[in-house]
Each structure stands twice: as C-alpha cells, then as structure tokens.
Structure 1
Amino acid sequence: MKSARLKKYIIIASMPVLLVSCFSAKDYVQSDQVQIEEGTFRTDQLSQDSLSVAEVSWRALFTDPVLTQYIEQGLANNIDIRVALQQIVAAEAYLKQGKAGYLPTLSANATYTHQELSKNSSLGALSNSQDLYGLSGNLAWEIDIWGKIRSNKRAFQASYLQTVAAHHAVKTRLIANIASVYYQLLTVDEQIEVTKETIVTRKQSLETTKALKEAGNVTQVGVKQTEAQLYTAEAILVDLNNQAYLLENTLSVLLGEAPTAKERTLLEDQNISTELVIGVPAQLLHNRPDVMVAELELRKAFELSNVARSSFYPSLTLSATGGFQSLDLDQLFNANSLFANLVGGLAQPVLNGRKIRTQYEVSKAQQEMASLNFKQSILIASREVSDAMYSFGTATEKIAIKQKEYDAYALATEYSQELLNNGLANYLEVLRAQENTLNSSLDLVNTRNRQLQSVVDLYEALGGGWK
C-alpha cells in the first residue's frame, strides 16, 4: 500500500519536470529593430562625441542666476513634479507586492457556529442545538513552475521603473518650459524697450513734420501719416505689455505659485557657453526619459505575455490548514481539539470559455503595440534632435544677416530724415525707412530668442536636465 502511494507521488512530482520543457518564461531582449542607427539625426554639420550635452547639468548650461533660481523653485514646487512623485510611491507599493509573489499566503480564522437541529434527524434526537467553536490558520503556496510569478515580478519592476522614468521626463520638460518661457519674457522685454525708443523717435519726427508743414515743405497728409505711425508703435507696445503679463503668469504656474510679477535679467546677458554635442546615437536610449518609458512599457507587455502563456499549463499548489475545533469553548485549546489538513494540487485548465486563449492573444497584441510605440518614440526623438540642431544653426546664421539688415535700415532712416529736413526727400521715404527699421529690430530680437529656444529644445530632445 505504501509502495503504491509512493509511486503515485513520484508520478505527480515528475509531471512538472516533463512539462517545463514545453514552456518556460523567456527573458526580455531588446529587438534590433529599435536600435538607433548612425546618421539618424541628420546633423552631419555638427560633431558627435561620446559625451552628449544631455550629460551636462542644467546649472552648467543655464548660467543666468535668476533663471537657475526659478528652475530650482519649479523642481521643488511644480504640481506635475509632485504628482509624478506620488505615482512613484504607488508603483513602489506594487513592486513590493510583486516581490512577495514567491511567499506563501497565510490567513487566520476564528469561528462560532450555533445550530438548531431537527428533532426528527439523527443528531436532533440526541440534542436540540449544537455550538461549535473553531480557531484555525490556512497556509497556501503556489510553486512557480513556469515562471509566472517571476514574470509578474518583472512586470511590476518595469512598471515601477516606468514611473521613475516618467518623473525624469517631467523634470526634463519642466526645466525646458521654465527656460523657454523665461527667454520669451526677456525677448518681449527687449522688444518693449525697442518700441519705447521708437515711440520717442516718432514723437520727435511728428514735431519735425509739423514744423516742415508750417514751412511749406510737406502737406497735412504727411503730418497725419507720421502721426498714424506713432499710434501704430503705441499699439505694438500695448500688445507687448500684454504678452509680458501673460508670460509672467505662465511662469508663475510652472513655479507652482499664484501669478505674480517676475524678476529677470536682460536678453543680451544670456550666454550659452556649453558646446552643443549630441553624443553617439545610442545614448539617446539612455538619456531620453520618454524613450525609457516606451521601452519599459514593452518590457512590461513582454512579461505579461509570459504570464498569459503560462496560464495554459497546470499550476501546482500546496495548502495546509490546522487549528482547534471544539463543541465546548473551555475545551477549545485541548490537545484533543487539534486538527490539520495538508493538500497538494495540480490544476490543469481544460474548458473555460476561451478566456485563457483570449487573454494570451490580447497580451501578444499589446506587446506588439508596445513595440511599435517604442519605435515611434525613437523616431520622434530623432526628429526632435535633428530639428533643434538645424534650427540652432539657421538661427545663428540668420542673426548675422538680420543685424546687417537692421544696420542698413537704421542708416536709411537717418539719411532720409536729413534729406527731408533739407527739402531733398519725400516724407514717404522717411516713413517707409522708419517702419522697416522697427520691424527689422523686432525681428532681430526674435531671431536671438529662436537661437536660445533651439538650445533649450536640443537639451530637452536629448533628455537633459533630470540627472
């Protein structure tokens, strides 16, 4: 009899060993299809090095003391940053749950049962009622034959790392947004000063035009057109002041505070001395937080597909129940009240309404979607790096051209005004020259801003700022 039982247990125990050859959880390996190739960024005009500008601290890249103060404040108080930190806390709780998957579950129960028995029953003939007291514990453990628990644990790990990478992405985006808004604010300040100087000049021109009319050199039409030019500049100043006010409010929200006026320096004081090097293409995977998030999503989907596949195979569980049970409360902890059960089970799903097959097919589809999203994130990252690098080069080139344009218009304005004062020029030439000078000056300031914005865009595109 003992020999037969032993033989039965050997057969049951050997089944998982035989079946494990049919399936075991695979290890995640990054696909070659999502690797970044050389030349992806279309930045042949700029050198690539093993060190990327993304490795540079934002404190070293942005040297304006007011801007660095704002970035520090934003990192400490911004609402999105604080939400991301709480998401990490929640993901860490799930990670701990995943690590505990290998451990058995233990539960304790205390019961009291009162029964009123039928007098016509076999037990009722002996007693009309019966009380039963119980105190027990249950221990259950699933043996990880197919790697299902391990894959679940790895999925939780990937999910946790996703939230960490998402927090890094929020930091990178926040730093870039603060710097971008700050530079826009400096740009508007510069344009306001240019417009104010223009208004002063045009008021003087209006007085000169009125004097020339009195002398008979220009008509009332010339006076009114000069006056209209003054109003145009004043209207531009109103729009610029409104834009500065809105930018201050935007910056306040980024810093996690109510809208207030913001201290700042001058646009001409901004100096980016860090060499703009993008690094080798493969570094983008290690620096771009959003690319990390996409890859970790792929890893999680891969592990969950392992879990879904393991559901096709039998699960081996061990459970034990033991405790005290007695009809009399005062005899509950007596040795005669002890009981114990030990059960080993091997459950193989057969028919369950196609739920396991559906779960597996959905997990494979989700894994493929995650893979495609990962590839898409790399393509987008590559485009953003290429855009930022090229924009920086064109903005730098355009600054030199716009400076020459402004100098030419400024001289044209000066010469035409002198000729008009001497009765040798048409007042329309003076008006056109003044208008072109103002527009050129505003464009020059905008071009300087675009150069700074391209630096910020490149820093964000390469995943800088979170380290």
Structure 2
Amino acid sequence: MKKISIIIKGTAYTVLTAALLSSCAVRKEYERPKDIVDEKLFRTDMLPQDSISSSNISWKEIFTDPILQSHITKALDANLDVRIALENINSAEAYLKQSKAAYLPTLTVGPNYTFQTQSVNTQFGQILGERRYVNQFDITASLGWEADLWGKLKAQEKSQLASLLGNVAAHQSVKSGLIASIASTYYQLLTLDNQKKIIQSTIKVRENNFETTKALKQAGTLTEVAVQQSEALVYNAQSLLIDIETQILMLENTMSLLKGESSHAIERTSLESQVLPEKFYLGYSADLLANRPDVMRAEYNLMNAFELTNVAKAQFYPTLRITGSTGLQTVSIDHLFSLNSFFANIVAGLAQPILNRRQIKTNYEVSIANKEIAYLNFRKTLLTAGKEVSDALRVFTVQDSFIALKTKELNAYKNSVDYSQELVNYGMANYLEVLNANVNSLNAELNISNAKFNKMKAAVDLYKSLGGGWK
C-alpha cells in the first residue's frame, strides 16, 4: 500500500513539473508591436511642446454650457447604444468567469435507475436458458479534471480577458462618440437658430426693398424687370426660411433619439454665448494608445487573437485528463446504502491527436491569419486616429482667420448694398447691382455663421480624436 502511495505521488509530481515547464515553453506572452507608434503621427509643429493631452480633461470642462451638459448627462444615462454596450460587457464578463472556472474539476451527482433484460436468443441468453430481468439502482458522483499542460486554459482565460477589456473600450468609445454627437448637434442647432434670425431679417429688408422698387417704377425710375427681380428675392429668402426650419426640426429629432427619447423640441441657449478652449494640447502620439477607446479596443482585439493562436498551438500536444466516479450501486433498493454497494474508479489518460482530418492545423493557420488581420486593423486604427487629429487641428486653428476675412467681405457687401441702393434712387445705377450685392451680403453672413459652427465642431472633433469624453 505504501509503495502504491509513493508511485501516485511521484506520478503527480512528474505531471505537475511537466505541466509547468511545457506551459512556459508553448504559451507565449503578448508584447505590443514595437513599430506600432509613430511619433510623427500628428501633422503639426506643436508636438514637441505638449507633454500633456487635452483628452485627460473632463468633458464638463470643455463643454461649459449648462444646458448642453444637461443634454449630455441625460444621453449617457438613457442612450440605447450605451445600454447595448453595457450588456456586451456583461456578456464578456460571463465568458471570462467561465474561462477561469475551466481550471476547476467538473462534478456531477445524481441518482439513476436502470431496467435491463437480455435476449434469450443470444449466446448469453442460451447459457442462462431463460429471460432474466434486472433492476439496478445507483447514486453516482463523477469527477473530471484537465491538466493545463501547455497553457491552453491560461491562453483561453487571457483571450476572454482581452475580449472583456475590448468591450469595455467599446463602451467607452460609444460614450465618447455620443458626447461628440450631442455637442455637434447642439452647436448645429444654435447655428441654424442664428441663420434663421439672419434670414428673417433679410426677408424684412427685401420686402422693404420690394416696396421701394414698386414705388420707383411708378416714378419711372425703374422698370417692371427690377420689380420682378426684387419680388423673386423675397420668395427666395422665404424658401430658405422653410428649409432652415425643417433642418432644425430634423436635428431636434436626431438629438431626441441620441437621448433615448421620443422626438421633441430641444432646449438651448445661443450661438453667441458659447465659450470653447482657445487651445488644445495634443500630447504625444503614444497617448492615443491610452486615451482613444477605439485604439485600445483594436489592441485588445490583437491580444485576443494572439492568445487564440496559443490555444490553437496547444491543440497539437497531448491532453491529460483525469476522471473518476464513486457512489452506491445495487440491484435491490433495500441494500442501496449498504457498505457492500460502494464502488469507485479513477482513470488518467494522456491523449495525443494523430489523425483528425487536418482540423488542428487548419485552426492554427486560421488563428495566425486572424492575428495578422488584428495587427493590421490596430495599425489602421492608429493611423486613422492620427489623421483625425491632424484634420480637426487644421480646421480649428484656421477658422479665426477665415471668420475675420469673411467679416471684412460681409462689411464690403453691406456697404455695396447701401451705395448701390442710393445710386439707384438717383437713377445713376442699374438695379441689378443692388440685387447682386444683396444676395452676396446674405451668403457672406451665412458663411460666417457656418464658419463659427465649423470651429465649434472642429473643437468637438479634436477633443474626441485625442480620446477625450469617456473619462
């Protein structure tokens, strides 16, 4: 008995030692690709000066309008995409718990009843010479355990952890995108409100001009052509007003959807009251790895694919399984709890795959291809992030100069309208010049309004592209 105990202990020690050594040899640890980050990812000369990133600032410090903050807060609580992302996290968390439980043995316990009778026409039946009926009762506990010799279970756990973290990053990405969408839609509504006022004012001016034109025609200064053109400008402005009001309603519906609500009017302030940061700090390109949720998710996908190659590789090696069962078994229920009804068995098996129609090799080759795809997607996501930062930075930095030039253009057109109208009143100019100056003046005023929105949207895009909004 003592000799058997020594053999069992020695075997267990050998198996555990082999498991540790083999696990280290087969399973590899993930390392971030060294060439993934390019410090020239941003197209700007500001890079060496920025050691911090504006993405680390809370969105409440970027978007200071209290009404906008209220909309964002409600959207984060009720947005359906955010809630779906949270459920994806719960699902991934459950899979991670399952992968951790893979180290534990399986245990089943239950009573069984078996009724059996033999055929009289078989060899065994001929020996007995009669049909026998057997009732068997048992209470059996079965135990099974797989040794993680090659790190397969560890790799599965790591892959599920990467999947969970990827879903967390996806949730963060949804939040960041939602905040950006709410802010952009809100600023666009303010811009349309501003343009609506401009057009309403323009309608009044053009209606007055139309009346002036009719009076000048009666005085013989202008022709019917000028009257018709003046009237057309009134209709043009009125149609623009209808278009603006339609856009406002549709944007309000969009924001209602983002907030997880039925369509309704959106409370808001004014375009003139908005205050945004004068400067954004970019930080270094490597900061995107820690701040941009989509970049983080792409790397977690790479980690997941990497660990799945470890799982696929471990399939080439033998599997050590230990199974056992014990319980009570009898043909008479009256003797079920007798000591003589006790039974037990244990089986340890080492199974090496030899022929399985190439499935293991195929799985391994597919896992290698998937890992390369995940790396390329990681690289593409990072390059896209750099492009978005560069694009938003360019728009944000040039808008002030653009608005200043457009303001000068507007003032010139307004002066042109006044001068042209005065010359027409004295019969010294064609009314077509007044019409052209009036149209150009309206377009310039609308362009300034759009430019202000473009700067605010660029600020939103720059903050989001740096990875801000989810913290």
Shift of the 271–23 alpha-carbon distance from structure 1 to 2, 3 Å rule, reads: same
Alpha carbons 1:47, 1:277 under 8 Å: kept: no
Partner of 1:153: 157
Q: Tell me whether 262-271 or 44-53 shows the greater mean CA deviation.
A: 44-53
Question: Which amino acid counterpart does residue 91 of structure 1 have in structure 2?
Answer: A
Identity %: 47
Shift of the 25–246 alpha-carbon distance from structure 1 to 2, 3 Å rule, reads: same
Whole-Å Cα distance in 2 between the matches of residues 255 and 411 of structure 1? 45
Whole-Å Cα distance in 1 between the matches of residues 150 and 211 of structure 2? 91
Whole-Å Cα distance in 1 between the matches of residues 175 and 262 of structure 2? 20
Q: Does 1:175 align with 2:176?
A: no
Alpha carbons 2:47, 2:284 under 8 Å: kept: no
Q: Tell me whether 127-136 or 301-310 shows the greater mean CA deviation.
A: 127-136
Structure 1 residue 393: deviation in Å?
1.5
Shift of the 123–104 alpha-carbon distance from structure 1 to 2, 3 Å rule, reads: farther
Partner of 1:98: 99
Alpha carbons 2:321, 2:349 under 8 Å: kept: yes
Whole-Å Cα distance in 1 between the matches of residues 245 and 48 of structure 2? 41
1:119-171 deviation digits (Å, cap 9, x = unpaired): 57278458721110011111111111111111111011001111110000000
Structure 1 stretches of 4+ moved >4 Å: 1-22, 45-48, 122-127
Alpha carbons 2:54, 2:463 under 8 Å: kept: yes
1:215-248 deviation digits (Å, cap 9, x = unpaired): 1111111111111111111111111111111111
Whole-Å Cα distance in 1 between the matches of residues 179 and 244 of structure 2? 25
Q: What TM-score does the superposition give when structure 2 sets the normalisation length?
A: 0.94
Whole-Å Cα distance in 2 between the matches of residues 14 and 117 of structure 1? 46
Extract unaligned runs of 5+ from structure 2: none
Q: Does 1:226 align with 2:227?
A: no
Partner of 1:463: 467
Whole-Å Cα distance in 1 between the matches of residues 163 and 302 of structure 2? 10
Question: Which amino acid counterpart does residue 430 of structure 2 have in structure 1?
Answer: N
Alpha carbons 1:53, 1:275 under 8 Å: kept: no
Alpha carbons 1:118, 1:124 under 8 Å: kept: no
1:89-132 deviation digits (Å, cap 9, x = unpaired): 11111111111121111111321111223457278458721110
Among 428, 435, 441, the residue aligned to 2:439:
435
Whole-Å Cα distance in 2 between the matches of residues 57 and 229 of structure 1? 47
Alpha carbons 1:41, 1:382 under 8 Å: kept: yes
Alpha carbons 2:62, 2:276 under 8 Å: kept: yes
Alpha carbons 2:298, 2:374 under 8 Å: kept: yes
Q: For 1:340, what is the secondary structure of its paired residue?
A: strand
Q: What TM-score does the superposition give when structure 1 sets the normalisation length?
A: 0.95
Structure 1 residue 9: deviation in Å?
8.8
Partner of 2:255: 251
Question: Which amino acid counterpart does residue 285 of structure 1 have in structure 2?
Answer: L
Shift of the 244–214 alpha-carbon distance from structure 1 to 2, 3 Å rule, reads: same
Whole-Å Cα distance in 2 between the matches of residues 38 and 284 of structure 1? 11
Alpha carbons 2:47, 2:283 under 8 Å: kept: no
Q: For 1:285, what is the secondary structure of its paired residue?
A: helix
Q: Does 1:270 align with 2:271?
A: no
Partner of 2:312: 308
Matches within 5 A, 1:230-241: 230-241=234-245
Whole-Å Cα distance in 1 between the matches of residues 60 and 4 of structure 2? 76
Q: Does 1:50 align with 2:51?
A: yes
Question: Which amino acid counterpart does residue 33 of structure 1 have in structure 2?
Answer: D
Whole-Å Cα distance in 2 between the matches of residues 435 and 125 of structure 1? 114
- Cα RMSD for the two superposed structures: 2.2
Partner of 1:389: 393
Question: Which amino acid counterpart does residue 42 of structure 2 have in structure 1?
Answer: F
Alpha carbons 1:48, 1:278 under 8 Å: kept: no
1:310-360 deviation digits (Å, cap 9, x = unpaired): 111111122221000011112111111001111111111111111111111
Alpha carbons 1:24, 1:146 under 8 Å: kept: yes
